[in-house]
Amino acid sequence: MATTALNRDLVLAIAEEMAQGVQTAVDCWMIEIDLALTNSHLTALGRLNAVREIVENYKQLTGQAHLDCRKLPAVGSS
């Protein structure tokens, strides 16, 4: 019984660490994108290219040449 509780606690601790790592990574990507979009030294096209560069860097780092996409609602629709 004690072993089961210990195993459960270990699994929960690992899951929490993984979730925190994912959240940290997402936060970093969002900060990079936000900085690119709010850079007043870039033109609109420059901002778009900066975001595209962030996405390309992500693909290269993760080894994903193509990102699978879930169907998203059209922009501006609710």
Find out whether 65 and 59 touch, Cβ atoms under 8 Å. Answer: yes
Say whether pTM exceeds 0.85.
no
Q: What is the pLDDT of residues 20-66, one digit of tens each?
A: 999 999 999 999 999 999 999 999 999 999 999 999 999 998 888 88
Amino acid at 21: G
Helix and strand numbers (H, E) in the chain are 2, 0
Residue 74, both tokens: 């059209």
> What are the residues whose beta carbons fall under 8 Å from the beta carbon of 36, sequence distance 6 or more?
42, 47, 50, 51, 53, 54
Ranges 11-20, 24-33, 65-74: which has the least confidence: 65-74
